[in-house]
Amino acid sequence: MHAWPASEVPALPGQGRDLRIHDTATDGPVTLDPGPVARIYVCGITPYDATHMGHAATYNAFDLVQRVWLDTKRQVHYVQNVTDVDDPLLERATRDGVDWADLAVQETTLFREDMTALRMLPPQHYIGAVEAIPGIVPLVERLRELGAAYDLDGDIYFSVDADPHFGQVSNLDAAAMRVLSAERGGDPDRPGKKNPLDPMLWLAAREGEPSWDGGTLGRGRPGWHIECVAIALDHLGMTFDVQGGGSDLAFPHHEMGASHAQVLTGEFPMAKAYVHAGMVGLDGEKMSKSKGNLVFVSALRRDGVDPAAIRLALHSRHYRSDWEWTDQVLQDAVDRLGRWRAAVSRPDGPSADALVDEVREALANDLDAPAALAAVDRWAARQEAEGGTDIGAPGLVSRTVDALLGVAL
């Protein structure tokens, strides 16, 4: 499918910094050294109830990853999926009495509009699960040939015991994995499974649900994890730089995906860093489609909130922390945007050469966007208090904020 239009990223003077980022698998920082083309896969939405502030915060983090790389004059090869067929989407369509495919199209369209308004860089490949099915089927067949998949009443499961590295993304014990599996789309209690954690690769066609021709697999539809693996391997290959998503994807989704890919290719690891954003909450609970406690980007836009202010609000919390969306978070961002715009609209100001380095340094240090905001705040405060004579400074600040933070002043 098509993605959304890219906003331009201005080039900055001087040298960009290599990204040091927290990797869930090693539970520590890694300094990534991608080649001339950095490769990143970010899990996309399941298209219903998009785009809430939790989604936006997660995509914001991975937009920053790309901006840091682009600032080092690398190209970025970015792939994102859309889970446009899966249990939660079908359940929502049934609940609301709408066609599941129409719901997916409508919500994906809204997501594109929100991403465009927020100036999030688009993926080069934006791929739906449905369009990936022809690539998924041979992978499941291959896993069966390798003895890493088995049939259970027509459904096909992946055997987690086939991967010697299973468990090395999330580093959880078996009991914790079992709990999360049940909570997040797995079926650990289904009788007949070899290992309760084994995830579904291919679901045999069910009455009243969409299904596709799966060749030797029979009619059915793909499991969730193999969807992302097929798309990632097809467009990025193995051992790409970053696999990204919210922290709720570390297990089972990224754990299972890594195992599928590692068994399929015999290579390890699938990604050099597994990067996870914290969960955004509202009124003390994780913002989630199933709970319905959602603040939508589109609703704020309709209320006349400047998307640049939404973007600054997202930057105001570190991507790895769990945080609460409140009206005050947004109000602070609106105020900050006003101060920054006033500061750059003057014909001259204090030198901004050091500021470029401070913002670069902050973002290269595990995407410390709050520190980057603080650096710009200091420049804006100096501008307001004493001004300056550097006629290039306001423009340089604008370009820095645009290139590295995705905010047009």
Q: Residues interacting with ligand 5CA, by CB under 6 A?
A: 43-46, 54-55, 57-58, 81, 83, 228, 245-246, 248-249, 277, 279-280, 286-288
Residue (111 or 340) nearer to Zn ion, CB: 111
Any known ligand binding at 246? yes
| Binding at 383: pick from ligand 5CA, Zn ion, none (beta carbon under 5-8 Å per type) | none
Stretch that binds Zn ion, among 220-228, 260-268, 315-323, 397-405 (CB under 5 A): 220-228
Any known ligand binding at 133? no
The CA distance from 200 to 186, in Å, is 8
Any known ligand binding at 248? yes
78 neighbors 9 (Cβ within 8 angstroms): no
Any known ligand binding at 253? yes
122 neighbors 5 (Cβ within 8 angstroms): yes
Among residues 30, 32, 38, 43, which is the contact residue for Zn ion, using CB under 5 A?
A: 43
The CA distance from 172 to 190, in Å, is 21
CA distances from 338 to 171, 312, 344, 346, 365 (A): 44, 11, 10, 13, 27
Residue (16 or 245) nearer to ligand 5CA, CB: 245
The CA distance from 12 to 350, in Å, is 18
Least spacing, CB of residue 302 vs ligand 5CA, in Å: 21
Among residues 169, 201, 228, 314, which is the contact residue for Zn ion, using CB under 5 A?
A: 228
- What single DSSP character describes residue 86? S
The CA distance from 351 to 400, in Å, is 13
List all residues 6 or more positions away from 98 whose beta carbon is below 8 Å from its beta carbon.
none
The CA distance from 351 to 383, in Å, is 10
By CB under 5 A, is residue 129 in contact with Zn ion?
no
Strands 125-128 and 149-152, sheet pairing: unpaired
| Binding at 258: pick from ligand 5CA, Zn ion, none (beta carbon under 5-8 Å per type) | none
Side chain identity, residue 35:
G
Least spacing, CB of residue 84 vs Zn ion, in Å: 12
Side chain identity, residue 136:
I
Stretch that binds Zn ion, among 38-46, 57-65, 295-303, 327-335 (CB under 5 A): 38-46
Stretch that binds Zn ion, among 13-21, 43-51, 152-160, 177-185 (CB under 5 A): 43-51
Both tokens of 110, joined, read 């809204």
Residue (249 or 407) nearer to ligand 5CA, CB: 249
Binding site for Zn ion (CB under 5 A): 43, 228
Binding-site positions for L-cysteinyl-5'-AMP:
43-46, 58, 81-83, 224, 246-248, 280
Binding-site residues for Zn(2+) sit at 43, 228, 253
